[in-house]
Structure 1
Amino acid sequence: MPRGLIVLLAAASAVVAIGGTKIFAGVLGPVFLALMLAVAAQPIQTRMQRRGLPPWLGMIVALVVVYLLLLGLVAALAVSVAQLATALPGYSDQFGDLLDQVRALLADFDIDKERIEHALSGFDLGNAVGVLESLLRGLTGIFSDLVFILALLLFMAFDGMTIGRRTGALATMRPDIARALNAFAAGTRKYLIVSTVFGLIVAVLDGVALWLLAVPFPLLWALLSFITNYIPNIGFVVGLVPPALLALLDGGFTKMIWVIVLYCVFNVVVQSVIQPKFVGDAVGLSVTVTFLSLVFWAWVLGALGALLAIPLTLLAKALLIDIDPSTRWLTLLISDRAPDRPDPEDPGRPDAVDPGPGSGGADPVAKPDG
């Protein structure tokens, strides 16, 4: 089959697969999240089994750890957002004064009054309260997804009791597939560990800074910083905008500038200088691929896709590239690591050729002497 036709068929199949994933995003998103959490918790079960403990005990301990972390995070977010929705209407006077200052500033530039009012007509504190109320109503949907996720985690943890034997058998039958899946699981765990550690560091620094500046709800913004740390490239901006705007309403431009400055100092140093080195060592993806994966998965799965962009890219890489020795050379194009010395025994290396008779390799059809 001509190579161009193969490329066209592959592109058409990719469009169909992506369209189907986008349609079923409401189901596939929670499934992917449960899969990532199960992969992250699997070492707990494995280590307990290696110590001679019953497999069911490792399953229970892993489930308890994941359940407590997930439920605690969701509960803290729900309470904090509810408190914010209750307190935000009290800033109506400050919001009106801020709009008056903006009107006066625009009038100094000789902008027509009707244009000013038309431009500022969409800025209303009531709209922000409405957004928060819709977010609170959406939390009921999150809790329904949470029940689905918790049930999936239970089934995956149950299957995890025998995953060691099954992967061992898979390594014997199909070593390439086993190696690709093991690389995905190891890369996902490393990424989650690195992002969690640096997310906690950033959350503590941001929360303390906001508390010292007397910005309302520092715990909520610290939690937001922790969650957005899993969003590559733009997570820092997403976590900065809400506390900066609230600081503007609470204390004016001076407090907002202090929030922006401190966030930039903490987050740029940690997330843009230190963390990328550890993330790159953990997942082996270039900066360009990381950003494109964020855009792609956020478009396909929404906010959950943005949070899981890196693990989902690692899963796609394992299933589409690493699983086949003939396509493994694509790793060189999407990785930020220098290529290792090629293995002459690896048929997936770029310069691998089929040695024929007379090329120095053994002739597979040659008859033995005598």
Structure 2
Amino acid sequence: MELKSSTAKAFVITAAVVVVLAGIKAASAIMVPFLLSIFIAIACSPLINLASRYKIPRWLSVTLVILLIIIFGFMLAGLVGQSLGEFRQNLPNYQAQLSVELAWVIEQLANLNIIVDKNLFLSYFDPAVAMSVATNFLSGMGGVLSNVFLIILTVIFMLFEAESMPRRIHVALSDPGMKMHHIDRFLKSVNDYLAIKSLVSLGTGAFIGVWLYALDVDHFMLWAVLAFLLNFIPNIGSIIAAVPAVL
């Protein structure tokens, strides 16, 4: 009886996970901007709190922060849009260059007595597919930036509502003091992480930008900005940022 109960529980949990993942996938058009809004709001909250210490009205500090976000967003959107257009225009040249590089690799392998069939090798590593990875990557970035109005509206709401959040928690919870303590600790840890990560990401982006400029790589500014942004993704962010530029 106990075994049947455990099996049924496992099936229910598995089904629930599948349903939740399917729901997240179906709502990805909304979830991605919403999660990005949460990230931006948490990252901007220290600036709002710093302005409050200097007696700057909250509406003014939120407005200034939103203006900075809008300026950065439009600059990034312009950079991505321009680079995407140039990238698509030069795509045949990039594919031809990549084919030449692959032929060189096959030749070097032959010098090491490693015989590789060129046609078979190219069938597994199609330059057109490799280039489409970078194109789709930039298109995805443009898709996220197209939701800029929804993201900004959500960030504004979160920043204004953050001030009244402690009062609402006191009303809703039985032990608000302890809950607020945990929330404050969590937010402080996140802000400390973001501060350190921002410095590391800025250094990474600057280094990659200078390095790619020295190598005369096209769109080096775009890859530097993407390296800065994607470096916030733990462990794999820098690898993801490097793939399009390497291709």
CA distance in 2 between partners of 1:53 and 1:171 (Å)? 31
User: Which residue of the partner structure matches residue 72 of structure 2?
Assistant: 69
Tell me the distance in 2 between the aligned counterparts of 1:97 and 1:47: 55
Q: Which runs of 5+ in 1 are unaligned?
A: 246-370
* Inter-CA distance 170–140: structure 2 relative to 1 (3 Å threshold): same
* Percent identity for Structure 1 against Structure 2: 27
The one-letter amino acid paired with 1:34 is S
CA drift at 1:167: 5.7
Classify the secondary structure of the residue corresponding to 2:146: helix
Deviation at 1:180, TM superposition (A): 2.3
2:59 aligned partner:
56
State the secondary structure of the residue aligned to 1:198.
helix
* Residue of structure 2 equivalent to 1:175: 177
Bigger radius of gyration? 1
Work out whether residues 221 and 243 of structure 1, in 8 Å CA contact, stay in contact via their aligned partners in 2: yes
Structure 2: distance between partners of 1:45 and 1:170 = 25
Other-structure match for 2:238:
236
Taking a change above 3 Å as real, the CA distance of residues 222 and 91 of structure 1, as seen in their structure-2 partners, is same
Deviations 1:244-291 (A, max 9, x none): 34xxxxxxxxxxxxxxxxxxxxxxxxxxxxxxxxxxxxxxxxxxxxxx
1:155-188 alpha-carbon deviations (Å, 9 max, x no partner)? 2233234346546767995223212222222122
Equivalent position of 2:38 in the other structure = 35
Change (3 A) 1:231 1:100: same
Relative to structure 1, is the Cα distance of residues 118 and 12 closer, same or farther in structure 2, using a 3 angstrom cutoff? closer
Structure 2 gap ranges (5+): none
The one of 23, 27, 30 equivalent to 1:24 is: 27
Matched residue type, 2:89? T
Aligned residue type for 1:215:
V
Among residues 200, 203, 213, which one is paired with 1:201 in the alignment?
203
Partner of residue 90, structure 2: 87
Distance 1:17 1:98, change over 3 A: closer
- The structure that is helix-richer by fraction is 2
Give the SS at the match of 2:90: helix
Provide the aligned length of Structure 1 versus Structure 2.
Answer: 239
C-alpha contact (below 8 Å) 2:95/2:131 kept by paired residues? no
Residue 217 of structure 1: aligned partner: 219
Deviations 1:70-96 (A, max 9, x none): 333343233333333333433454334
| Superposition TM-score, scaled by structure 1 size | 0.54
Residues 207 and 219 of structure 1 are in contact (CA less than 8 Å); yes or no, is this contact kept in structure 2?
A: yes
Q: Confirm or deny: 8 A CA contact 2:208 2:224 kept in the other structure.
A: yes
Regions of 4+ moved over 4 Å = 8-14, 16-19, 105-113, 128-140, 164-173
Superposed displacement of residue 201, structure 1: 0.7
Rounded Cα–Cα distance in structure 2 between residues aligned with 1:112 and 1:53: 68
* RMSD across aligned positions (CA): 3.4
CA contact (8 A) 2:46 2:191 kept: no
